């Protein structure tokens, strides 16, 4: 009598805890960005998002099982200054770094005009030469820049078709924020430590990422 009445209860509690734990892990893997960013991302039918480790930036994306070269990206940051730029790019080289990155950069000018373009970040541009819009090998469609006055969110969005050299299971991506621009030319501010760190290798399928920023910073300190 005793065992026949407790067993269903035990099974029920076990089932309940199973539902609970899967429910919780589902939420944490889908919605690990701020609510404001998640709302804006959802408005673009972006389903994945996460907070990036630097610059207060948040990243959203979609990928497709049937075509892993096709992705959508959405990057956002709170920007309180009247001028600024926001960049996101992917690097086909083995390491996540700025040089070699094929980037999309959105610029907000003091007169309120918003522009967005593609940029090939070369060793020269990293060293401070003029960074002008250029063709990149990644196919970019529907690139959009938005500034929401109400919450100061600055976002860029694009649909990309990557070449086969990129692998969305270990995509080297780079992001950057700046506060000065001239027309379509974003100006680099003196590279502080965070500029070095704003790269990681992300698995767009699992949301996992690896950052080598700390390691590189240690190397720099040893060298200097
Ligand atoms: C959602 O997106 C549309 C256009 O894509 C825009 O007009 C609208 O303001 C957006 N809504 C929010 C809450 O961001
Ligand atoms: C972008 O720059 C790289 C060198 O970093 C160069 O090999 C490549 O051809 C450039 N791409 C385009 C489309 O100009
Ligand atoms: C995306 O861009 C294509 C052309 O490249 C256009 O036909 C389509 O309407 C755009 N979609 C949206 C949602 O803006
Ligand atoms: C992409 O990377 C993953 C993980 O390293 C690997 O298993 C997979 O084979 C790679 N895909 C291609 C097309 O190279
Ligand atoms: C804002 O300034 C830029 C660069 O000087 C110019 O190209 C653009 O037309 C201006 N936009 C407006 C709305 O005045």
Residue nearest atom 11 in ligand 5 by C-alpha distance: 113
Query: Is any atom of ligand 1 closer than 6 Å to the C-beta of 168?
Result: no
| pLDDT for 120 beyond 90 | yes
pLDDT value of position 31: 47
pLDDT value of position 218: 36
Residue nearest atom 13 in ligand 3 by C-alpha distance: 142
| 56-62, long-range: CB < 8 A, 24+ apart | 57/86, 57/175, 57/177, 57/198, 58/33, 58/34, 59/33, 59/88, 59/173, 59/175, 60/33, 61/204
Average pLDDT, the chain: 81
**% of the chain exceeding 70 in pLDDT:** 75
Residue nearest atom 6 in ligand 5 by C-alpha distance: 183
pLDDT value of position 129: 67
Query: Is any atom of ligand 3 closer than 6 Å to the C-beta of 141?
Result: yes
């Amino acid at each position: 009598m005793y065992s026949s009445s407790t067993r269903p209860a035990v099974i029920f509690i076990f089932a309940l805890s199973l539902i609970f734990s899967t429910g919780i892990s589902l939420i944490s893997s889908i919605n690990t960005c701020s609510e404001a960013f998640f709302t804006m991302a959802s408005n673009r039918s972006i389903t994945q998002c996460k907070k990036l480790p630097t610059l207060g930036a948040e990243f959203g994306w979609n990928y497709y099982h049937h075509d892993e070269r096709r992705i959508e990206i959405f990057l956002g940051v709170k920007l309180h200054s009247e001028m600024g730029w926001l960049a996101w790019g992917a690097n086909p080289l083995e390491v996540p770094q700025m040089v070699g990155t094929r980037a999309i950069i959105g610029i907000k000018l003091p007169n309120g005009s918003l522009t967005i373009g593609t940029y090939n970040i070369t060793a020269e541009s990293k060293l401070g030469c003029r960074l002008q819009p250029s063709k990149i090998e990644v196919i970019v469609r529907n690139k959009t820049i938005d500034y929401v006055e109400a919450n100061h969110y600055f976002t860029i969005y694009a649909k990309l078709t990557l070449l086969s050299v990129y692998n969305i299971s270990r995509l080297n991506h780079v992001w950057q924020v700046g506060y000065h621009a001239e027309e379509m030319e974003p100006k680099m501010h003196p590279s502080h430590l965070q500029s070095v760190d704003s790269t990681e290798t992300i698995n767009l399928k699992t949301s996992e990422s690896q950052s080598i920023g700390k390691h590189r910073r240690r190397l720099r300190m040893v060298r200097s």
